[in-house]
Chain A
Amino acid sequence: MTVPASAPAASGELFLAVRGIAKRFGENAVLAGVDLVVPRGSVVTVLGKSGTGKSVFLKCLAGIVTPDAGEIRFDGRALDTGNAVASAEFRRRCSYLFQSNALFDSLTALENVALPLEQTTQVPNAEIRARCLEALRQLELDRHRDVYPGQLSGGMQKRLALARAIVTRPELVLFDEPTAGLDPLRRNSVFEMIAKYQRQFGFTAVLVTHDVPEALAVSDRIALLDSGRMRFQGTPAEFAASADVAVHAFRDSASALRDTIAAVRRGEALPSEDLP
């Protein structure tokens, strides 16, 4: 059963609208008509199991992967391969935070942050330096400006990647599993960081993650990607109240796991469909 998407929050106008995005790799149809609405100034989180195509979907939004079908409208303008002006405009106003951070290991922290400004704008060098130092200061990395990414901890690398993403003052930031591989404390701090800087800089954010409780806390809207389509779209409250089987399974995965472990300890056999 597919739960119809609820209307976007009334607080903001539609900033990004995705309709019918499809992507196939050989015989594998990863996305089969994905829709998403992102109001301006909101945080929208796309949840989904591993391998459901969340990252592919985000890369389609960023233009790294070209979708086979569908339409993406950014601030009212359609983005497609034939519309170079709109694509360039989108890239100027959008940043992407990679799961792997994608930092240049041969550049220092300061040089990494300066890279997008140096390569895509005509901002004078003195202003680039001032803006980069300010971004590093805001993310509490100013003491590490001459350090290479490999010398930083995982959390600091994530902050450095965020500094690089926000230094161009984007209106839209796409986060690809920003907490992958982090421990619970660092995971929380990354979500705190996203909430804090989203409020501070006012950008619109689209997040892809597995972390349900944190996503519910930080997001204005939740979407659930399942079998190549958006199974659910709505507010965190609607997500929490949804009776949809897939939403239920995702939302209550922690309590389901506790029940399963208890059953195993009691010596009860696991139903075969529960096995990974």
Chain B
Amino acid sequence: MLQTLGRTSLAVVGELGDFALFAGQSFSSAVGSRKLGRRIVRALYEQGVRCLPVILIVGLFTGLVLGLQGYYVLNRYGSTSVLGELVALTLVRELGPVLAALMLVGQAGSALAAELGIQRNSEQIAALETMGASPHAYLVAPRLIAAALSFPIQTAFFSLVGIWGGFLSGSLLLPLSGGVYWSSVHLAVRSPDVRECFLKAVVFGLLTTAICAHNGYNTHRRSRATGARAVSASTTRAVVLSSIAVLAADYLITSLLVGT
């Protein structure tokens, strides 16, 4: 029992250390890498532009549901005038960064883990190593930089569309005045809220992309599966760990910011 606990703890610490080295190496390798800009643009397209429809759809429905639920709850206390504040702050501070990150993990993160896993299996990563090129610089660094840029933009779109969704629910489907809704939004959202939103988005973007890349890159280390099964296992693990990391990091950042 004690032996198993010790072995597991060592494995977890080892994995965390390996992950930290991987992320650090990926960032440092970006310095001086040729044609990095072109690869970042490609990654921005894959992680940003291609994921935008999902972000907009999920953001809209999240706002619609928030507006609907919020209106009926607030109506009990005669406070429907603060519906805009409820929807906007919930989205900007919490649901926007978290749900956008989870959506991006599902679409771009899983694709990244699978792509790197296949590249590992088909020896493309080994080919880069034998050339003397850095696989971290070529394959991982552009994705990390693109994530740091695209996650805040995606989160902003998510939150904005969500706030519009709340307006559709409260003022078009339900009898709240549009002016009251937008005025409430305007009065509630302050720059620290927006800063919190963007801080979370950048942290989630870097964290989830690094986790997905780390899992895909190390597909060959999966001792219980090989080939396609290893890619599948790495992708699943990447999505699960990223999702947990988003929620844990969200709690941590919120605790720190609320404390200050």
Assess whether B132 is in contact with A102, with CB atoms less than 8 Å apart: no
Residues of A within 8 A of B134 (CB): 119
Give 13 A-B pairs besides A92-B132, A115-B133 with Cβ atoms closer than 8 angstroms.
Answer: A63-B129, A63-B130, A64-B129, A64-B130, A91-B130, A91-B132, A100-B123, A104-B119, A116-B131, A119-B134, A119-B137, A120-B132, A120-B133
Q: Which of A92, A94, A98, A168 contacts B127 (CB 8 A)?
A: A98
Interface size class of chain A, counting residues whose CB lies under 8 Å from the partner chain: 20 to 34
Total number of residue pairs linking A and B with CB closer than 8 Å? 51
Assess whether B131 is in contact with A100, with CB atoms less than 8 Å apart: no
User: Which A residues from 88 to 117 make CB contacts under 8 A with B?
Assistant: 88, 91-92, 94-96, 98, 100, 102-104, 115-116
Main secondary structure of the interface of B (DSSP, over half): helix
Q: Which of B128, B129, B130, B133 contacts A95 (CB 8 A)?
A: B130
Residues of B within 8 A of A9 (CB): none
Number of B residues with CB within 8 Å of any CB on chain A: 18
CB distance from A13 to the nearest CB of B (A): 24
- Give the complex CA separation of A268 and B70 in angstroms: 87
Interface residues of B (CB under 8 A from A): 33-35, 119, 122-124, 126-134, 137-138
- Give the complex CA separation of A102 and B126 in angstroms: 8
Residues of B within 8 A of A168 (CB): 131
Q: Which of B122, B130, B133 contacts A96 (CB 8 A)?
A: B130
Interface residues of A (CB under 8 A from B): 59, 62-64, 88, 91-92, 94-96, 98, 100, 102-104, 115-116, 118-120, 168
Residues of B within 8 A of A94 (CB): 130
Residues of A within 8 A of B33 (CB): 119
Residues of B within 8 A of A59 (CB): 126
**Chain A residue nearest in CB terms to B132:** A91
**Chain B residue nearest in CB terms to A96:** B130
Assess whether A64 is in contact with B132, with CB atoms less than 8 Å apart: no
